[in-house]
């Protein structure tokens, strides 16, 4: 179990129209100008946009993997500890974060597939 930074990048590369913005300590990910995630290599974590219900469920079920980052605009962001999650689950969470941020037409054209 655990996802490396390289594996994380491969998953993100599989998403459509993702823009990466690197800042000193992290890389932010957006689709059509809307942020859906952040990666902090030093702490081996990512922050992902989720629904408020999903944020609460993830943190309640596995606090060793997930923690509340913040809530904003009706969304709940979660911190994900990369060494404690498997690639398949992270892929689903990244897709969901992307889908919540992508224009509806784009998301409809690119449903989740493994």
For 33-87, the pLDDT digits (tens) are: 999 999 999 999 999 999 999 999 999 999 999 999 999 989 999 999 999 999 9
> pTM of the prediction?
0.95
20 three-state secondary structure: strand
For the chain, the average pLDDT equals 96
Residue (of 66, 50, 46) closest to 58 by Cα position: 66
97 near 75, Cβ under 8 Å?
Answer: no
Q: 113: pLDDT confidence band, cut at 50, 70 and 90? A: confident
- Report, as an integer, the average pLDDT of 16-24: 96
CB atoms within 10 A of CB 74: 8
Instruction: Check pLDDT > 90 for residue 30.
Output: yes
């Amino acid at each position: 179990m655990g996802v490396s930074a390289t594996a994380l990048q491969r998953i993100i590369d599989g998403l459509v129209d993702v823009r990466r913005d690197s800042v000193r300590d992290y890389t932010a990910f957006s689709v059509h100008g809307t942020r859906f995630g952040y990666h902090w290599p030093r702490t081996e974590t990512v922050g992902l946009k989720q629904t408020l219900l999903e944020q609460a469920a993830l943190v309640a079920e596995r606090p060793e993997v997930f923690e509340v980052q913040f809530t904003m605009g009706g969304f709940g962001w979660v911190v994900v500890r990369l060494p404690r999650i498997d690639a398949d689950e992270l892929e689903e969470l990244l897709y969901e974060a992307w889908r919540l941020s992508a224009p509806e037409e784009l998301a409809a054209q690119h449903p989740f597939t493994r």
